[in-house]
C-alpha cells in the first residue's frame, strides 16, 4: 500500500467540522469514489469530527490518499487529547448515544466505512482511524 498524498486539518471548533466534511468530500471525489460511498464517508466524518470537537475538546483530522493494487482509498485519523472514552464497550453499542449528535455514534460511523480502529483510554485522548476504498 502506498500513500499518494497526506495532510492534516484542525478540528477545534464547529466550523472546522464543516470544513473537514468538505475536505473529505473533495479527497474522496479525487479518489474516484462513487456517490453512495462518498456520502457514507462524509457522514462518518461528520460524526467523528463533531465528536472530536464536543467530547475531545478539539483536535486534528489527519488524512492520507492511499493506493493499493490499483484501487484508491482515503484514510482519516481523528485525534484529540481529551478525556478519552471511559467505557469503550458501551460507546460501541448500537443505539447508544451520549449526546445530541447525528445519532450514529461510533457504531454508525464504523458501519459506514471499510476499516475502523479505535484507540482510547481515560485521560489519554482518543484516536479513531477510518478508511474507505473507492
- pLDDT (tens digit, 0 to 9) for every residue of the chain, 134 residues total? 899 999 999 999 999 999 999 999 999 999 999 999 999 999 999 999 999 999 999 999 999 999 999 999 999 999 999 999 988 888 888 766 666 555 568 998 999 999 999 999 999 999 999 999 99
Domain span at residue 107 reads: 2-133
- Name residues whose C-beta falls within 8 Å of residue 110's C-beta, 6 or more positions apart in sequence: 92, 116
For residue 91, the model assigns a pLDDT of 83
Cα separation, 117 vs 77, whole angstroms = 9
Expressed in percent and rounded to 5, the helix, strand and coil fractions of the chain are 35, 35, 30
Domain of residue 106, CATH code: 3.30.565.10
Cα separation, 27 vs 38, whole angstroms = 9
Cα separation, 3 vs 123, whole angstroms = 31
C-alpha cell belonging to residue 113: 466505512
Amino acid at each position: 500500500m502506498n500513500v499518494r498524498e497526506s495532510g492534516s486539518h484542525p478540528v477545534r471548533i464547529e466550523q472546522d467540522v464543516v470544513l473537514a466534511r468538505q475536505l473529505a468530500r473533495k479527497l474522496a471525489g479525487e479518489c474516484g469514489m462513487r456517490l453512495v460511498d462518498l456520502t457514507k464517508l462524509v457522514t462518518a466524518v461528520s460524526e467523528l469530527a463533531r465528536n472530536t470537537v464536543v467530547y475531545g475538546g478539539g483536535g486534528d483530522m489527519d488524512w492520507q490518499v492511499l493506493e493499493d493494487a490499483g484501487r484508491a482509498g482515503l484514510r482519516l485519523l481523528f485525534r484529540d487529547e481529551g478525556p478519552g472514552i471511559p467505557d469503550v464497550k458501551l460507546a460501541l453499542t448500537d443505539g447508544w448515544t451520549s449526546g445530541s449528535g447525528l445519532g450514529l455514534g461510533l457504531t454508525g460511523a464504523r458501519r459506514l466505512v471499510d476499516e475502523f480502529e479505535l484507540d482510547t483510554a481515560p485521560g489519554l485522548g482518543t484516536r479513531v482511524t477510518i478508511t474507505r476504498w473507492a
